[in-house]
């Protein structure tokens, strides 16, 4: 049930007997009102031949262009609206894997297909790009030379192979130091390697502001660009110490991200102890 997942909603939930229950489960009627085709207006003329979209289809809330239905439950993902990842803004003619434009599918339906999705994982509505890890492959489908984000392809996007890290204690979603690590098939783990969503939250443009975007295609910086809050100051410092900010800022630059200064590397926690002894 939504309550077990920490979600709340104003949409109706139902118990096993079909009665409305605050702690019930999601059913078809949670999202659909079978007696009303359009949630915002009464249609008197015949419309039985009309092909449905995210704006009607007996939905209880209109889900396009603003994804009101999805975000009624998924509040943390609501901030994707009107950002660069809302293709209503950046690629309004683009189509998902069932041929729907962002207006027809809604902002969420570009990447997630609630009904009849070919992929159970994340209800994925796109293809998969290059990579060894599923989470990277999902991002690389668009961020590739033939993808809709072909102008935003990082020169390098992987952490060195064999450099496994642990995020134990920093794997609790909702906390400021949350730094997720995923295995090759996209499941959360506490030991592994960095993938795209370790540093990026694809639904929130600026980690400091919990709000939707401005409705324009914005050029990103190291302070926004769907980055998680203070990512460089979280897990990176455990290994890279005072060089963490530098390595974080130039992570996608294969030339600049490698430290060029000479001398032994001193982890930040050890350096602090040495300074305390002075």
- Indicate the domain borders of the chain: 239-278
Q: What is the pLDDT of residue 6?
A: 84
Report the length, in residues, of the chain. 278
Strands 191-192 and 181-182, sheet pairing? unpaired
With contact defined as beta carbons under 8 Å apart, do 232 and 207 qualify? no
Q: Which two tokens stand for residue 271?
A: 């350096």
Q: What is the pLDDT of residue 268?
A: 47
Q: What is the pLDDT of residue 266?
A: 47
| One-character DSSP codes across 36-51 | -S-SSS---S--TTPP
Strands 188-189 and 181-182, sheet pairing? antiparallel
Digit-by-digit pLDDT tens for the chain (278 residues) are 888 888 899 999 999 999 999 999 999 999 999 999 999 999 888 888 899 999 999 999 999 999 999 999 999 999 999 999 999 999 999 999 999 999 999 999 999 999 989 999 999 999 999 999 999 999 999 999 999 999 999 999 999 888 888 998 889 888 888 999 999 999 999 999 999 999 999 999 999 999 999 999 999 988 899 998 766 566 788 888 888 888 888 889 888 877 554 444 444 444 454 455 54
């Amino acid at each position: 049930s939504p309550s077990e997942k920490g979600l709340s909603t104003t949409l109706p939930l139902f118990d096993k007997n079909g009665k409305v229950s605050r702690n019930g489960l999601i059913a078809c009627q949670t999202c659909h009102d079978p007696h009303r085709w359009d949630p915002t207006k009464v249609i008197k003329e015949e419309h039985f031949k009309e092909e449905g979209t995210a704006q009607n289809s007996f939905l209880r809330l209109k889900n396009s262009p603003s994804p009101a239905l999805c975000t009624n439950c998924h509040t943390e993902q609501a901030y994707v609206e009107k950002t660069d990842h809302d293709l209503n803004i950046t690629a309004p003619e683009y189509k998902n894997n069932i041929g729907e434009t962002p207006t027809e599918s809604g902002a969420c339906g570009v990447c997630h297909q609630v009904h009849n999705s070919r992929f159970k994982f994340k209800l994925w509505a796109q293809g998969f790009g290059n990579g060894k890890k599923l989470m990277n492959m999902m991002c690389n489908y668009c961020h590739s030379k033939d993808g809709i984000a072909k102008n935003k392809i990082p020169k390098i996007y992987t952490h060195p192979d064999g450099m496994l890290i642990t995020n134990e204690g920093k794997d609790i979603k909702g906390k400021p130091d949350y730094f997720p690590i995923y295995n090759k098939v996209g499941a959360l783990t506490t030991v592994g390697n960095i993938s795209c969503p370790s540093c990026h939250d694809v639904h929130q443009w600026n980690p400091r502001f919990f709000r939707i975007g401005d409705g324009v295609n914005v050029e990103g910086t190291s302070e926004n660009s769907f980055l998680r809050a203070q990512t460089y100051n979280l897990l990176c410092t455990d290994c890279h110490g005072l060089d963490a900010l530098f390595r974080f800022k130039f992570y996608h630059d294969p030339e600049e991200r490698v430290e060029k200064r000479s001398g032994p590397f001193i982890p930040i926690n050890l350096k602090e102890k040495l300074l305390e002894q002075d």
